[in-house]
A and B are shown apart, each in its own frame.
Chain A
Amino acid sequence: MRTPCLTVCVVLGAAGLAAQGNVAARLAGRVPAEVVAAARGIVDSAAARGLPVELLMQKALEGGAKGVPADRVIAAVRTLAGELDASAGALRAAGLAAPDGDAIEAGAFALTAGLQEGQVRELARARRAPFGAAATLRVAAMLAALGVPAKQTVALVRRTVESGRAPTDLLDLPGRVQSEIARGETPAQAAAGLAHAPAAPPAGPPTVPPGRERSRKP
């Protein structure tokens, strides 16, 4: 009986060490040793809770690249892990029994951009085919990042999703808001205008935010 138990323990230990080794290999030389050690613990704990861990690794790498002190990098990774947790909780509360990593990351991004946990839950609940929760939350996060107030962001995204418009209408929202901002409107004005505007014309290829102007109020 001792041998099979030993075999399973050895294999499990090896798998755990492999995951830790992956963290260490990616962070080694890029961040201080104490960050590697702390990140291992945070990543392992997040993975055990079924959370995606790539963003945690990226946050540690970002802190190292920016020369941020170790304690602040660890704090930022821990905060992000908390946001991933909150996002997963909000998605589950919205009826997604086992949210995928993409949706959890999108929810965490929305939280980073300024939405509240309850608003993430509300948007996830409002999801409707063909959009998944991830797409809905990503669009909301981009609007919030553009400066649209969180409450207005939620209202605009919900209205677009629930009106059953074409997929491009939802995905184009951030671009359309950005265009209005470039014309001199505030983010709130731009979003308010779109809330009452008809669907976007179908012509034109999808665009990418760096091609547009950001708000610069005189």
Chain B
Amino acid sequence: MTWEFHPLVKRVLDGELTLGDLPLELRPEAEEALRMLAALDRTPVTLSPGLDVRVMETVRRRAGSPATARESFRAVRVWRWISAPRDVEIRLRVRPWAVGALAAAAALVLLLLARPNATPRGAPAAPTAASAEGSVLVRFVLFAPRAHRVAIAGTFNQWDREATLLAPAGTTGVWTTTLALAPGQHQYAFVVDGERWVTDPAAPAVDDGFGRRNSVVAVPGARAL
């Protein structure tokens, strides 16, 4: 068995060509490669039901340690200093209508900030935020035998091509990572060796608006309804 596939076969694996585009002599090799790709296990990861219990046991154990107790004592002293009552005299000279105007303006600001979708949302949680309510763990796999480094970038990590690296599975050429994604649709692509953008051959794809394609993953969950 060889991992050095013909460049055209690799383009089939990347989803850029179909089997029908290949010369006849390369089709068996491509079929073998596709079979290997299809044999990969990509089922969603289910966490052990006992995980919560184990994590909480560790937290309670650490909470009782001497170092934590010292930290707690320091925190109590700081809190006492902050919360101790002190005499402060503030003298304001205001006109009543000015107070009204300021209150109205403050209410307006609150209204503007609270409007949904009126302003850009803040930075989303990191893609590995497994604790996010309703998130689902999704495993991504890419077969890239000659790659030295594979990352994934998408709407779930602000398209940061340095943020989420895939790990090689031994020397098989298979790269994987598992991310906790919020329910909904996410667009993404793999970044091979920091420069080559590759769509996921196992996922649907849409035009990215720049002449390439983005893969799409739909994460099931309550938001899907």
Q: B-contacting residues of A (Cβ < 8 Å)?
A: 3-4, 7-8, 10-12, 14-15, 18-19, 22-23, 26, 43, 47, 50-55, 57-59, 61-66, 68, 72-73, 76, 79-80, 100-102, 106, 109, 112-114, 130-132, 135, 138, 141-142, 145-147, 167, 171, 174, 178, 182, 205-214, 216-218
Contact = CB atoms under 8 A, between A and B. Distances in A.
Which 8 pairs, one residue from A and one from B, show the smallest C-beta to C-beta distance? A76-B209, A145-B204, A211-B42, A4-B101, A206-B220, A101-B117, A52-B117, A11-B105
Contact of A208 (B19, B37, B214, B218): B218
Contacts of B172: none
B18 A7 contact: no
Interface residues of B, number: 68
Contacts of B224: 135, 138, 171
Given A14-B109, A207-B44, A208-B219, A64 B159 contact: yes
A66 B197 CA distance: 8
A140 to B, nearest CB: 12
Given A4-B101, A10-B105, A206-B220, 8 more contacts: A3-B98, A4-B98, A8-B101, A51-B117, A53-B117, A54-B117, A62-B214, A209-B216
B105 to A, nearest CB: 4
A127 B20 CA distance: 39
Contact of A174 (B123, B207, B218): B218
A55 B105 CA distance: 30
A113 B206 CA distance: 6
Q: Which of B34, B123, B141, B202 has the most CB of A within 10 A?
A: B202
Interface in B185-225: 185, 187, 197, 200-210, 212, 214-220, 223-225
Given A11-B108, A211-B42, A142 B216 contact: yes
Contacts of A100: 116
A64 B162 CA distance: 13
11 contacts: A8-B108, A11-B105, A15-B112, A62-B159, A72-B210, A109-B185, A174-B204, A207-B43, A209-B202, A209-B203, A213-B202
B123 A26 contact: yes
Contact of B206 (A51, A61, A145, A174): A145
Interface centre among A53, A58, A59, A62 (most CB of B within 10 A): A62
